[in-house]
A = this chain, B = another copy of it.
Amino acid sequence: MIMFNCDYLEGAHEKILERLCETNMDQTPGYGVDEYCDRARALIREQVKDPDAYVQFLVGGTQTNMTVLAALMRHHEGVIAADTGHIAVHETGSIEATGHKVLTLPNKEGKISAKQVDDYVKAHNADEMKQHMVKPKVVFISYATEEGTLYSKAELKDLYKTCKKHNLYLYLDGARLGYGLMSEKSDLTMADIYKYTDVFYIGGTKVGALFGEAIVFHNHDLHDDFRYLMKQKGGLLAKGRLLGVQFEVLFEGKGKKCLYYQISEHADRLAIKLKEGIKALGYEMYQDSYTNQQFPILPDAVLGKLSKKYTYGYWCRVDEKHSAVRFCTSWATKEENVDQLLSDLKRWTK
């Protein structure tokens, strides 16, 4: 079976494993106050071009979202997200389990706009019954989005300005940040992301690490006591240095020379190759993605053959005979597997 159903099918990039082996018997303090973590923090601060950026590490994305959002909200406050947002759909109500409502806005290509947020908050504030409704306090976006799409720099700036205007926080889920930033359609750098959000995270789990997400706070009012919350939400890893070691390997080197970007570029390139190949066969895409997730609309008959040899994510039914599916590439995807998939599709398409 050749697997394309997600971007966490393999372990870690070999350089990460090597470093974990090399450092294995070093003795370090627990909970992320070791020197590996400190070096990784320094490297990330270089990436975001702010020596004061506050950086912590957690194990996974859902854990990160629920911990960061719990740190940002009082009991009566909620978080605005696209109705396709990961926290709204695929985290088993983890945000609600911390007591907060996810306030959904209809997505457009997986995104929400500054205008939508502005309208929502204005309507809330103008409503004489507003105290009977959850108060919006945070805006959650993803980059790349769950649909593989990207916010432009202008869109992100607009969202950030709107948040500041209404005293809201902007939080960006970067589970696929590398794949977003290295897309040919991206006009953002990590420093831009930092500048135009209050807090965001750099996804490691889907981008070369065994596991791990690096949370970066730009807004210094928000991270007081954050480590208490990390512990309370079950995320303060005993052997915290495992996270430091991994992020150190990912971000060693200058600017976009780092492993993190190189492996992201690889995944994006193969994703675009796949997309172009599928389009060349006459198929349409459900969503026009420029990142590592691709969503072709395929005949169910073709999918029947496909599923004997490949795994993919089922996205949704499009019509009686067609479905949208998801293929993911990643840092670990082999080009020969993409070629094989395209050649099989070509054969089955005739």
Contact, CB under 8 Å: B93 / A232: yes
Q: Kindly list chain B residues whose C-beta atoms are within 8 Å of the C-beta of A49.
A: none
- A122 smallest CB distance to B (angstroms): 14
CA distance A31 to B90 in the complex (A): 13
Which B residues touch A8, using CB under 8 A?
Answer: 30, 238-239
What is the interface size of chain A, counting residues whose CB is below 8 A from a CB of the partner? 80
Contact of A131 among B60, B227, B242 (CB under 8 A): B227
On whether the beta carbons of A20 and B27 are closer than 8 Å, the reply is no
Given A20-B17, A27-B9, A75-B70, verify A134-B63 contact (CB < 8 Å): no
Report whether A93 and B76 are in contact in the complex, using a CB–CB cutoff of 8 Å.
yes
Q: Which residues of A, 124-138, contact B by the 8 Å Cβ criterion? A: 128-129, 131-135
Q: Which residue of B lies closest to A6 (CB)?
A: B30
Question: A60 and B237 in contact (CB under 8 A), knowing A27-B3, A71-B75, A131-B231?
Answer: yes
Of A95-103, A144-152, A272-280, A300-308, the one contacting chain B is A95-103
Given contacts A92-B76, A133-B89, A133-B90, is CB(A239)–CB(B211) below 8 Å?
A: yes
A28 within 8 A of B: yes
In the complex this chain forms, how many copies of it are found? 4
A87 CB to closest chain B CB (Å) equals 11
Whether B94 pairs with A234 at a CB distance below 8 angstroms is yes
Most buried by B among A62, A93, A128: A93
Contacting residues of chain A (54-95) with chain B, CB-CB under 8 angstroms: 59-64, 66-67, 70-71, 74-76, 78, 89-94
Could you tell me which residues of chain A, from 222 to 266, have a CB within 8 Å of some CB in chain B?
Answer: 225, 227-239, 241-242
- 17 more A-B residue pairs beyond the given contacts A92-B232, A206-B238, with a C-beta to C-beta distance below 8 A: A2-B27, A9-B28, A11-B24, A59-B237, A63-B234, A66-B234, A74-B74, A75-B232, A89-B132, A92-B134, A93-B134, A94-B233, A132-B236, A135-B228, A210-B239, A211-B238, A233-B234
- Would you call A62 and B231 a contact (CB within 8 A)? yes
Q: Which of chain B's residues have a CB closer than 8 A to the CB of A2?
A: 27
**A1 interface residue per 8 A CB criterion:** yes
Closest CB in chain B relative to A8 CB, distance in Å: 4
Determine whether the beta carbon of B11 is less than 8 Å from that of A242: yes
